[in-house]
Structure 1
Amino acid sequence: MEENRQLIEFTCVEAQQPIGSMYVGVMDHDDLEYISFADVRRLELGVDNREVEDYIGIQRELNSKRENEIGKYVNLVDATFPNSIIIAISSEYAEYDSDSNKMTIQYKDDVAKVLDGQHRIAGLRHFKKAGSKFQVIVTIYIDMELEDQAIVFSTINKEQKNVSNSLVADLFAFARSRSPQKTAHNIARALNSKDGSPFYHKIKILGTARRKDLETITQDTFVKNLIKYISKDPQSDRDFYKRNEKSGKRLPLINGSELEKLPLRNLFIEDESDLKIAQLIFNYFHAVQRKWPNAWNELQPSIILNRSTGFIALMRFFKPAYLSFELTGGIVTKDQFYSIFEGISLQDDDFNKERYVPGSTGQGQLYRDLLELSSLQQD
């Protein structure tokens, strides 16, 4: 570290994309390592009391094995990192001069957040070739909103198996504009935290320090199976609201066969209607819990009703159950939903892995059984 140094200056090329401007340049690895930090998601007790930036860290946990592997690689004679490392930084610490194409960054510790490349940066700490350079390509976003940081992160990492889909869903909660993802996420969190909810502490919400042995449904599973009744193209809906955030323009309401396919969409479109969607899901699963209290509440390895197999089948059954009341934007009560389950002859002990094999086979079988025993029409 250079004690008297105040600035890092280097040439950058500005690129304009729909998300905004980004700047591509080349930095010495030790400069980048000094100014950057990886905002790793905290999972410790008390996480809910932290600032948003602490709470919503968007990098994966640093893998020491991966760091050491890269540390060995960077000292090979033909080592190279051809892809850019992506960072986000505040204009408080960075300035771009379009006339000279120069980027100036204050030489301060931890002012640039790493969106992609933390393992490469960590590996470069092991670079040992005295007197030689290891420069890296960097892509820089200035004053990037947290929501957009999340989108960049999820776009880069969505195909990587070690990145949780629940993390991507969780990031949407901090979006300013409306979206199906944000609605579904917020409902998951609300139902998981509400005392008396059939989902109380059952959903594996990232960033919480609950008793993990009580959680049987992932946030990603909950969100996906709710969104399918809200939107056929969540990304397009999100884009619409983001483009029309200032005007307040709304998506058009739907009807007929389209509404049968997306029975919760008009509720999503209407103002302040997320509460109605949450109440519907609450009432529906309250009826499930009332009908099969042991299978829903108890944690037994052999019981599938309160796990993904049962939840996904029940969410599929939600549509014909909800549509059977022929309401337009109304709330089906707990008792009304219970009237459907009341006549189903399945008992708590029937929801076992032998009868309903975990996975799509068991989900499909349970859904068909619920349809047949309730005499509802198939979706």
Structure 2
Amino acid sequence: MSSIEFPCLEIAQPIGVFYIGVMAQSDLIEISKSDVIHIDKDERDIETVSGLERPISRLRVKELQEYVKNIDAAFPTGVIIAVSAMDVEFDRNQKVMKLRRGDDVATIIDGQHRIEGLKGLPPTFRFDMNVTIFVDMDPEDQAAIFSTINLKQVPVSKSITYELFEYARSRSPQKTCHQIARRLNQSSGSPFKDKIMILGVAHDKDKETLTQAAFIKPLEKLIVPEKQAMADRDALKRGRHIPKPTEVEVRTKRLVFRSWFLDDQDSKIAQTIVNYFAAVEAVWPKAWGVKTPGLVLNRTTGYNALMRVLPLLLFKLGIDEVHSIEDFASFLSLVTLTDDDFNPNIFKPGSSGEAILYQRLLSNMKIDESQPWKGLTVKSI
């Protein structure tokens, strides 16, 4: 009978003996199957849940299939599978395990999305996986392992993720946005001075209104489409050329900072953000400058709405140069809202309040969202 042979170690823990081995991704894909959760209801409407792994997220699989192609792709944590004793042989002296070949040999306890992601690689590509193997493990113990792994994990803060890009040597949209956030938070005279919660920096809770991730996410969207950010990072790390966006791409995707980023002109991006929000602060000094309970302009709701307006203003003013505070203020001064209007009674915190504020800003500035580049005469400030 055909078998897969690979190096393996025997591990003893309170749950019993299990094995940790190194398998080629093609072999792991061949023998693995997911015991996907399914729910049946009997006549008394009592749910009986069987199976371990969660249903496959096609979006997650697609993301991982792109990720494994990156130059620095890695799955350092192990996939966990269960196999029958009839399908396995382990040589303690040689520290080698043999598994029967077949698509029904291994049940995935944890790691189905990583395994599906590996299917994006050609079979001849080498991507070794560390695999934890339980032999003749009963369903109750399988469920206990699965729940321990998946119910007790603490998600990593997005702000931590962006902070880690500080250590990257190559350029990337994520690193550029992280550096701009730090620069604007530290610079004297910046409208964001001490307003961003930077990790590893002493916090001034009387001033901070935005998390690092909240500041970066809308900015990154003006540099690169969300689904393309990791591809940009990979291309730059490999030293590949990224073509400039077409005019249609800039307008439809609002990539107003992409050309500057690709030309290594991050300072122009930072200065534009400074001038724009300095204009916001000039028009609404109280709502932007002071952290006051109830005011939403300098928090995520207001910031997101203003960042959605920014590319439309740049289409009006021109995206090839850094515009002055006065240029931006000439538009913002058309808005009839006062400092005290930026309250949760009018603009509820969250996406609904953000959308209402965004539409109010466009309406007052008479900007057509579908064709924002058409001419508009505004009063000078």
**TM-score normalised to structure 1 length:** 0.59
Aligned structure 1 segments of 4 or more residues deviating by more than 2 angstroms: 24-29, 77-87, 159-162
Which digits, 9 at most, give the CA deviation of each residue in 1:35-67, with x for residues without a partner? xxxxxxxxxxxxxxxxxxxxxxxxxxxxxxxxx
Q: Which residue of 2 aligns with 1:339?
A: 330
How far did 1:160 drift? 5.8
Tell me the number of residue pairs that the alignment of Structure 1 and Structure 2 aligns.
244
Shifted more, 341-350 versus 210-219: the winner is 210-219
How far did 1:27 drift? 8.4
| DSSP-derived class of the 1:199 partner | coil
How far did 1:177 drift? 0.9
Q: 2:354 aligns with which of 336, 350, 363?
A: 363
How far did 1:25 drift? 6.2
Q: Which residue of 2 aligns with 1:9?
A: none
How far did 1:210 drift? 2.3
Q: Which residue of 1 aligns with 2:299?
A: 307
Q: 1:256 aligns with which of 238, 247, 258?
A: 247
Q: Which residue of 2 aligns with 1:59?
A: none
Q: 1:164 to 1:375 in 2, by over 3 A?
A: same
Q: 1:349 to 1:252 in 2, by over 3 A?
A: same
Q: Which residue of 2 aligns with 1:194?
A: 187
Q: 1:348 aligns with which of 335, 339, 343?
A: 339
The answer to whether the 8 Å contact 1:313/1:367 transfers is yes
2:279 is the counterpart of 1:287? yes
The answer to whether the 8 Å contact 1:250/1:269 transfers is no
How far did 1:211 drift? 1.3
How far did 1:321 drift? 1.1
How far did 1:239 drift? 0.7
2:305 is the counterpart of 1:321? no
Alignment of 1:1-379 (within 5 A): 26=9, 75=14, 77-78=15-16, 86=76, 162-232=155-225, 233-244=228-239, 249-260=240-251, 261=253, 262-271=255-264, 273-327=265-319, 329-378=320-369
The answer to whether the 8 Å contact 1:205/1:219 transfers is yes
**TM-score normalised to structure 2 length:** 0.58
| DSSP-derived class of the 1:192 partner | helix
The answer to whether the 8 Å contact 1:204/1:219 transfers is yes
The answer to whether the 8 Å contact 1:201/1:214 transfers is yes
Structure 1 unpaired stretches of 5+: 1-12, 15-23, 30-73, 88-99, 102-136, 140-155
Looking at CA atoms only, which structure, 1 or 2, has the larger radius of gyration? 2
| DSSP-derived class of the 2:203 partner | coil
The answer to whether the 8 Å contact 1:192/1:203 transfers is yes
Q: Percent identity?
A: 41
Partners of 1:268 and 1:366 lie apart in 2 by 29
Q: 1:160 to 1:276 in 2, by over 3 A?
A: farther
Q: 1:25 to 1:250 in 2, by over 3 A?
A: same
Which digits, 9 at most, give the CA deviation of each residue in 1:209-233, with x for residues without a partner? 1213321111111111001010011
Q: Residue type matched to 1:228 in 2?
A: K
Superposition RMSD in Å: 3.2
| DSSP-derived class of the 1:324 partner | helix
Q: 1:281 to 1:26 in 2, by over 3 A?
A: farther
Partners of 2:157 and 2:349 lie apart in 1 by 21
| DSSP-derived class of the 2:206 partner | helix
| DSSP-derived class of the 1:166 partner | helix
